Amino acid sequence: MTLSLNQWTTRRWSVAEAVDGCVRHGLEAVGLWREKVAEQGLAESVKLVREAGLRVSSLCRGGFLTAGGLPGEEGRRAFAQALEDNRRAIDEAAELSAACLVMVVGGLPGVKPGEALPASGFSRDVAGARGRVAEALAELAPYAGERGVKLALEPLHPIYCPDRAVLSTLGQALDLSLDHPEEQVGVVVDTFHVWWDPRVFEDIARAGRRIASYQVCDYLHPLPQDILLGRGMMGDGVIDFRPITQAVLDAGYAGDVEVEIFNADIWAADPDEVVATMKARYEDVVLPVR
Protein backbone atom coordinates (compact mmCIF):
# COMPACT_ATOMS: atom_id res chain seq x y z
CA MET A 1 0.00 0.00 0.00
CA THR A 2 1.38 3.35 -1.05
CA LEU A 3 0.07 6.82 -0.30
CA SER A 4 -1.49 8.84 -3.13
CA LEU A 5 -2.60 12.46 -3.20
CA ASN A 6 -6.10 12.97 -4.54
CA GLN A 7 -5.70 16.39 -6.08
CA TRP A 8 -8.97 17.71 -4.63
CA THR A 9 -7.21 17.68 -1.23
CA THR A 10 -4.92 20.42 -2.57
CA ARG A 11 -7.67 21.93 -4.62
CA ARG A 12 -5.77 25.08 -5.57
CA TRP A 13 -3.18 23.04 -7.41
CA SER A 14 -3.46 22.47 -11.14
CA VAL A 15 -2.50 19.05 -12.51
CA ALA A 16 1.02 20.38 -13.16
CA GLU A 17 1.31 21.70 -9.61
CA ALA A 18 -0.11 18.53 -8.09
CA VAL A 19 2.34 16.40 -10.10
CA ASP A 20 5.24 18.61 -8.96
CA GLY A 21 3.97 18.44 -5.38
CA CYS A 22 3.82 14.65 -5.44
CA VAL A 23 7.37 14.41 -6.75
CA ARG A 24 8.61 16.98 -4.22
CA HIS A 25 7.06 15.01 -1.35
CA GLY A 26 8.18 11.61 -2.62
CA LEU A 27 4.71 10.28 -3.50
CA GLU A 28 4.38 7.71 -6.28
CA ALA A 29 0.77 8.27 -7.28
CA VAL A 30 -1.84 10.96 -7.77
CA GLY A 31 -5.64 10.92 -8.09
CA LEU A 32 -6.83 13.37 -10.74
CA TRP A 33 -10.11 15.18 -11.36
CA ARG A 34 -11.65 15.62 -14.79
CA GLU A 35 -12.17 19.38 -14.36
CA LYS A 36 -8.50 19.87 -13.56
CA VAL A 37 -7.40 17.60 -16.40
CA ALA A 38 -9.58 19.59 -18.80
CA GLU A 39 -7.99 22.84 -17.61
CA GLN A 40 -4.49 21.43 -18.08
CA GLY A 41 -5.39 19.66 -21.28
CA LEU A 42 -5.66 15.87 -21.47
CA ALA A 43 -2.54 15.28 -23.58
CA GLU A 44 -0.48 17.62 -21.41
CA SER A 45 -1.77 15.90 -18.25
CA VAL A 46 -0.79 12.49 -19.64
CA LYS A 47 2.66 13.82 -20.47
CA LEU A 48 3.13 15.35 -17.03
CA VAL A 49 2.28 12.22 -15.05
CA ARG A 50 4.34 9.98 -17.36
CA GLU A 51 7.42 12.17 -17.24
CA ALA A 52 7.13 12.37 -13.46
CA GLY A 53 6.85 8.59 -13.27
CA LEU A 54 3.59 8.81 -11.28
CA ARG A 55 0.75 6.31 -11.26
CA VAL A 56 -2.73 7.77 -11.66
CA SER A 57 -4.51 6.05 -8.80
CA SER A 58 -7.94 7.21 -9.98
CA LEU A 59 -9.76 9.62 -12.21
CA CYS A 60 -12.67 11.40 -10.50
CA ARG A 61 -15.32 11.11 -11.60
CA GLY A 62 -17.94 9.55 -13.75
CA GLY A 63 -21.51 8.82 -12.75
CA PHE A 64 -24.61 10.96 -12.24
CA LEU A 65 -26.59 8.33 -14.08
CA THR A 66 -29.95 8.66 -12.35
CA ALA A 67 -31.49 11.61 -14.22
CA GLY A 68 -32.94 9.00 -16.57
CA GLY A 69 -35.50 8.35 -13.86
CA LEU A 70 -37.47 11.43 -14.91
CA PRO A 71 -40.49 10.61 -17.06
CA GLY A 72 -40.77 10.84 -20.83
CA GLU A 73 -38.50 12.57 -23.29
CA GLU A 74 -36.69 14.55 -20.59
CA GLY A 75 -35.63 11.35 -18.87
CA ARG A 76 -34.54 9.66 -22.08
CA ARG A 77 -32.47 12.65 -23.12
CA ALA A 78 -30.84 12.96 -19.69
CA PHE A 79 -29.98 9.26 -19.69
CA ALA A 80 -28.40 9.45 -23.15
CA GLN A 81 -26.41 12.53 -22.15
CA ALA A 82 -25.18 10.86 -18.98
CA LEU A 83 -24.03 7.81 -20.93
CA GLU A 84 -22.22 9.98 -23.45
CA ASP A 85 -20.47 11.98 -20.74
CA ASN A 86 -19.40 8.77 -19.04
CA ARG A 87 -17.96 7.38 -22.26
CA ARG A 88 -15.81 10.52 -22.48
CA ALA A 89 -14.72 10.01 -18.87
CA ILE A 90 -13.77 6.41 -19.68
CA ASP A 91 -11.76 7.60 -22.69
CA GLU A 92 -9.90 10.06 -20.48
CA ALA A 93 -9.22 7.42 -17.85
CA ALA A 94 -7.81 5.17 -20.56
CA GLU A 95 -5.51 7.93 -21.85
CA LEU A 96 -4.26 8.58 -18.33
CA SER A 97 -3.86 4.84 -17.59
CA ALA A 98 -5.84 5.54 -14.43
CA ALA A 99 -6.23 2.57 -12.11
CA CYS A 100 -9.97 3.25 -12.09
CA LEU A 101 -12.70 5.73 -12.92
CA VAL A 102 -14.54 6.62 -9.72
CA MET A 103 -18.32 6.56 -10.21
CA VAL A 104 -20.57 8.76 -8.06
CA VAL A 105 -23.84 7.47 -9.39
CA GLY A 106 -26.22 10.36 -8.70
CA GLY A 107 -29.14 10.97 -6.36
CA LEU A 108 -32.89 11.12 -6.82
CA PRO A 109 -33.83 12.06 -10.39
CA GLY A 110 -34.25 15.82 -10.72
CA VAL A 111 -32.49 16.69 -7.43
CA LYS A 112 -29.34 18.69 -8.22
CA PRO A 113 -26.27 18.22 -5.99
CA GLY A 114 -26.17 20.73 -3.16
CA GLU A 115 -29.36 22.49 -4.26
CA ALA A 116 -32.77 22.70 -2.63
CA LEU A 117 -35.52 20.35 -3.77
CA PRO A 118 -37.26 21.75 -6.86
CA ALA A 119 -40.96 22.57 -6.39
CA SER A 120 -41.81 19.82 -8.85
CA GLY A 121 -40.18 17.63 -11.46
CA PHE A 122 -38.19 15.39 -9.16
CA SER A 123 -38.72 11.77 -8.25
CA ARG A 124 -38.83 10.13 -4.82
CA ASP A 125 -38.43 6.69 -6.36
CA VAL A 126 -35.08 5.68 -4.89
CA ALA A 127 -35.48 2.05 -5.95
CA GLY A 128 -36.19 3.18 -9.51
CA ALA A 129 -33.11 5.41 -9.46
CA ARG A 130 -31.04 2.43 -8.36
CA GLY A 131 -32.47 0.51 -11.29
CA ARG A 132 -31.32 3.25 -13.69
CA VAL A 133 -27.78 2.92 -12.31
CA ALA A 134 -27.79 -0.80 -13.05
CA GLU A 135 -29.06 -0.14 -16.58
CA ALA A 136 -26.40 2.48 -17.22
CA LEU A 137 -23.71 0.20 -15.89
CA ALA A 138 -24.74 -2.54 -18.31
CA GLU A 139 -24.11 -0.03 -21.12
CA LEU A 140 -20.87 1.36 -19.78
CA ALA A 141 -19.03 -1.66 -18.38
CA PRO A 142 -18.27 -3.29 -21.76
CA TYR A 143 -17.19 0.07 -23.15
CA ALA A 144 -14.82 0.48 -20.21
CA GLY A 145 -13.60 -3.10 -20.55
CA GLU A 146 -12.67 -2.60 -24.20
CA ARG A 147 -10.48 0.34 -23.16
CA GLY A 148 -8.91 -1.37 -20.16
CA VAL A 149 -10.67 0.92 -17.69
CA LYS A 150 -12.18 -0.27 -14.42
CA LEU A 151 -15.32 1.51 -13.17
CA ALA A 152 -15.15 1.94 -9.40
CA LEU A 153 -18.61 2.25 -7.85
CA GLU A 154 -18.45 4.54 -4.84
CA PRO A 155 -21.09 4.11 -2.17
CA LEU A 156 -21.63 7.47 -0.51
CA HIS A 157 -22.71 8.09 3.08
CA PRO A 158 -26.54 7.95 3.24
CA ILE A 159 -26.59 11.68 3.93
CA TYR A 160 -25.84 12.14 0.22
CA CYS A 161 -28.61 9.84 -0.99
CA PRO A 162 -31.00 12.65 -1.99
CA ASP A 163 -28.66 14.49 -4.31
CA ARG A 164 -25.40 12.65 -5.02
CA ALA A 165 -25.53 8.87 -4.77
CA VAL A 166 -28.32 6.36 -4.35
CA LEU A 167 -25.56 3.82 -3.73
CA SER A 168 -25.44 4.04 0.04
CA THR A 169 -23.56 1.01 1.31
CA LEU A 170 -20.52 -0.98 0.29
CA GLY A 171 -22.61 -4.14 0.19
CA GLN A 172 -25.06 -2.56 -2.24
CA ALA A 173 -22.25 -1.32 -4.52
CA LEU A 174 -20.58 -4.72 -4.36
CA ASP A 175 -23.79 -6.56 -5.25
CA LEU A 176 -24.20 -4.28 -8.25
CA SER A 177 -20.63 -4.88 -9.38
CA LEU A 178 -21.08 -8.65 -9.39
CA ASP A 179 -23.11 -8.53 -12.60
CA HIS A 180 -19.93 -7.56 -14.42
CA PRO A 181 -16.40 -8.93 -14.84
CA GLU A 182 -13.99 -8.01 -12.07
CA GLU A 183 -11.71 -6.10 -14.46
CA GLN A 184 -14.61 -3.90 -15.59
CA VAL A 185 -16.42 -3.00 -12.37
CA GLY A 186 -15.14 -2.70 -8.81
CA VAL A 187 -15.96 -0.70 -5.69
CA VAL A 188 -14.43 2.16 -3.74
CA VAL A 189 -13.92 1.87 0.00
CA ASP A 190 -13.87 5.44 1.33
CA THR A 191 -13.60 5.61 5.10
CA PHE A 192 -15.76 8.74 5.33
CA HIS A 193 -18.65 6.98 3.68
CA VAL A 194 -18.50 3.55 5.29
CA TRP A 195 -17.07 3.87 8.82
CA TRP A 196 -20.51 3.69 10.49
CA ASP A 197 -21.72 0.62 8.57
CA PRO A 198 -22.21 -2.39 10.85
CA ARG A 199 -21.52 -4.69 7.88
CA VAL A 200 -18.41 -2.92 6.62
CA PHE A 201 -15.85 -5.52 7.70
CA GLU A 202 -17.94 -8.37 6.34
CA ASP A 203 -18.44 -6.50 3.06
CA ILE A 204 -14.77 -5.54 2.68
CA ALA A 205 -13.86 -9.21 3.06
CA ARG A 206 -16.58 -10.19 0.61
CA ALA A 207 -15.41 -7.55 -1.87
CA GLY A 208 -11.89 -8.99 -2.00
CA ARG A 209 -10.35 -8.18 -5.37
CA ARG A 210 -13.37 -6.07 -6.32
CA ILE A 211 -11.87 -3.26 -4.24
CA ALA A 212 -10.68 -0.88 -6.91
CA SER A 213 -9.77 2.06 -4.68
CA TYR A 214 -9.18 2.74 -1.01
CA GLN A 215 -9.71 6.38 -0.06
CA VAL A 216 -9.17 7.82 3.39
CA CYS A 217 -10.20 10.95 5.20
CA ASP A 218 -11.83 11.54 8.56
CA TYR A 219 -15.49 12.20 9.42
CA LEU A 220 -15.82 15.47 11.29
CA HIS A 221 -18.30 15.91 14.11
CA PRO A 222 -20.33 17.98 14.12
CA LEU A 223 -20.56 18.30 10.35
CA PRO A 224 -20.23 21.83 8.96
CA GLN A 225 -23.29 23.54 7.48
CA ASP A 226 -22.21 22.50 3.98
CA ILE A 227 -22.17 18.77 4.59
CA LEU A 228 -20.06 18.19 1.50
CA LEU A 229 -17.16 19.75 3.41
CA GLY A 230 -17.41 17.51 6.47
CA ARG A 231 -14.29 15.57 5.51
CA GLY A 232 -11.25 16.07 7.69
CA MET A 233 -7.57 15.23 7.94
CA MET A 234 -7.10 11.75 9.37
CA GLY A 235 -7.10 11.99 13.15
CA ASP A 236 -9.33 15.08 13.31
CA GLY A 237 -12.63 13.18 13.44
CA VAL A 238 -14.31 10.04 14.71
CA ILE A 239 -12.91 7.31 12.47
CA ASP A 240 -10.77 4.47 13.79
CA PHE A 241 -8.77 3.89 10.59
CA ARG A 242 -6.45 1.03 11.42
CA PRO A 243 -9.02 -1.78 11.56
CA ILE A 244 -10.47 -0.64 8.23
CA THR A 245 -7.04 -0.44 6.61
CA GLN A 246 -6.20 -3.88 7.96
CA ALA A 247 -9.43 -5.30 6.57
CA VAL A 248 -8.72 -3.78 3.14
CA LEU A 249 -5.23 -5.28 3.21
CA ASP A 250 -6.58 -8.65 4.31
CA ALA A 251 -9.04 -8.54 1.41
CA GLY A 252 -6.05 -8.52 -0.93
CA TYR A 253 -6.01 -4.88 -1.94
CA ALA A 254 -2.51 -3.85 -3.01
CA GLY A 255 -3.25 -0.55 -4.75
CA ASP A 256 -2.65 3.02 -3.70
CA VAL A 257 -4.30 4.71 -0.74
CA GLU A 258 -5.74 8.04 -1.78
CA VAL A 259 -6.33 10.89 0.62
CA GLU A 260 -9.34 12.86 -0.62
CA ILE A 261 -10.45 15.72 1.63
CA PHE A 262 -13.17 18.27 0.94
CA ASN A 263 -12.65 20.88 3.63
CA ALA A 264 -12.66 24.67 3.46
CA ASP A 265 -9.84 25.11 6.00
CA ILE A 266 -7.61 22.58 4.25
CA TRP A 267 -8.28 24.19 0.88
CA ALA A 268 -7.27 27.55 2.38
CA ALA A 269 -4.01 26.19 3.84
CA ASP A 270 -0.61 25.98 2.13
CA PRO A 271 -0.84 22.85 -0.06
CA ASP A 272 2.73 21.80 0.78
CA GLU A 273 1.88 21.86 4.48
CA VAL A 274 -1.28 19.88 3.79
CA VAL A 275 0.71 17.19 1.99
CA ALA A 276 3.29 17.06 4.79
CA THR A 277 0.54 16.67 7.40
CA MET A 278 -1.17 14.06 5.25
CA LYS A 279 2.01 11.98 5.09
CA ALA A 280 2.54 12.16 8.83
CA ARG A 281 -1.07 11.31 9.71
CA TYR A 282 -1.06 8.43 7.24
CA GLU A 283 1.79 6.85 9.18
CA ASP A 284 0.33 7.76 12.58
CA VAL A 285 -3.32 6.77 12.33
CA VAL A 286 -4.09 5.05 9.00
CA LEU A 287 -1.48 2.32 8.64
CA PRO A 288 -1.93 -0.65 10.97
CA VAL A 289 0.65 -0.96 13.72
CA ARG A 290 3.35 -3.32 12.49
User: 26 phi and psi, to 5 degrees?
Assistant: 75, 25
CA distances from 239 to 10, 233, 234 (A): 21, 11, 8
Residue 140 DSSP one-character state: H
Among 72, 120, 225, 290, binds a second copy (CB under 8 A): 225
Residues 132-161, one symbol each (x = binds a second copy by CB under 8 A, - = not), give: -------------------------xxx-x
Least distance from C-beta 137 to a second copy, angstroms?
A: 15
Residues 241-280, one symbol each (x = binds a second copy by CB under 8 A, - = not), give: --x-------------------------------------
CA distances from 176 to 84, 88, 194, 206, 262 (A): 21, 22, 17, 13, 27
92-96 contacts, C-beta under 8 A, 24 or more apart: 92/34, 92/37, 92/42, 92/59, 93/59, 93/144, 93/147, 93/149, 94/147, 94/148, 94/149, 95/42, 95/43, 95/46, 96/32, 96/37, 96/42, 96/45, 96/46, 96/49, 96/56, 96/59
**Cβ closest to a second copy, residue 87 vs residue 112:** 112
Q: Within 10 Å of residue 121's Cβ, how many Cβ atoms?
A: 12
Among 13, 33, 214, 219, binds a second copy (CB under 8 A): 219
By CB under 8 A, tell whether 223 contacts a second copy.
Answer: yes
Size of the site for a second copy (CB under 8 A): 37
Cβ atoms 220, 237 nearer than 8 A: yes
Least distance from C-beta 185 to a second copy, angstroms?
A: 17
Torsion of CA 136, 194, 156, 28, to 10 degrees: -80
By CB under 8 A, tell whether 197 contacts a second copy.
Answer: yes
Any bridge partners for residue 252, and if so which? none
Least distance from C-beta 104 to a second copy, angstroms?
A: 15
- Mapping DSSP to helix (H, G, I), strand (E, B) and coil, where does residue 155 land? coil
Least distance from C-beta 262 to a second copy, angstroms?
A: 16
Least distance from C-beta 167 to a second copy, angstroms?
A: 8
By CB under 8 A, tell whether 8 contacts a second copy.
Answer: no
By CB under 8 A, tell whether 239 contacts a second copy.
Answer: yes
User: 253 phi and psi, to 5 degrees?
Assistant: -70, 130
Which span sits near a second copy by CB under 8 A: 29-37, 59-67, 92-100, 234-242? 234-242
User: By CB under 8 A, what part of segment 93-132 binds a second copy?
Assistant: 108, 111, 114-117, 124-127, 130
Least distance from C-beta 80 to a second copy, angstroms?
A: 25
**Cβ closest to a second copy, residue 88 vs residue 221:** 221
**Residues at the interface with a second copy (CB under 8 A):** 108, 111, 114-117, 124-127, 130, 157-159, 161-163, 168-169, 171-172, 195-199, 219, 221-223, 225, 227, 237-240, 243
